Structure 1
Amino acid sequence: MNVTDRRAVRTAARTLVAPAALAVLAITVPQAAAHTELDTASPGAGATLAGLPPRVTLSFSDAMAQKYSKLAVTGPDGAPAAEGGPQVEGRTVSIPLDTSSPAGRYTVGYRVVSADGHPVSGSYTFTVKEADSPSPSPRAAESADVPARQPESEQAGGESSDAGGTMLLAAGVLAVAVAAAGRFVSRRRRAGRGH
Structure 2
Amino acid sequence: MFRIRTVLAGAAVAVAAALAVAAPAAAHDELVSSTPAADEQLTVAPEQIQLTFSNDLLALEDNSGTAMTVVDDSGTDWVAGDPVVAADTVTVPLEPGMPGGTYQVTWKVVSSDGHPTSGDYSFSIAESDTPDEQATAPAETTAPASPEATTAPEATTAPEQSDSRPWVMGLIPAAVLVVAVVVIIVIVARRRRK
The answer, yes or no, to whether TM exceeds 0.5 is yes
Root-mean-square deviation (CA, aligned residues, Å) is: 3.7
| Count of aligned residue pairs for this structure pair | 166
How far apart are residue 25 of structure 1 and its match?
A: 9.9
Q: Which moved more, 1:54-63 or 1:167-176?
A: 167-176
In 2, Cα distance between equivalents of 1:125 and 1:165: 29
Compare CA radii of gyration and give the structure with the larger one. Answer: 1
> Is the counterpart of residue 144 in structure 1 residue 141 in structure 2?
no
How far apart are residue 93 of structure 1 and its match?
A: 0.5
What does residue range 6-45 of structure 1 map to in structure 2 within 5 Å?
23=17, 27=21, 31=24, 36-45=29-38
- Classify the secondary structure of the residue corresponding to 1:177: helix
> Is the counterpart of residue 163 in structure 1 residue 167 in structure 2?
yes
Question: Residues 50 and 128 of structure 1 are in contact (CA less than 8 Å); yes or no, is this contact kept in structure 2?
Answer: yes
How far apart are residue 117 of structure 1 and its match?
A: 4.3
Q: TM-score, normalised by structure 2?
A: 0.65
Gaps in structure 2 of 5+ consecutive residues: 1-5, 138-143
Q: TM-score, normalised by structure 1?
A: 0.64
Question: Residues 20 and 173 of structure 2 are in contact (CA less than 8 Å); yes or no, is this contact kept in structure 1?
Answer: no
> Is the counterpart of residue 175 in structure 1 residue 179 in structure 2?
yes
- Classify the secondary structure of the residue corresponding to 2:85: strand
In 2, Cα distance between equivalents of 1:164 and 1:38: 19
Amino acid at match of 2:33: T
Cα 1:170/1:96, change in 2 over 3 Å: same
> Is the counterpart of residue 91 in structure 1 residue 88 in structure 2?
yes
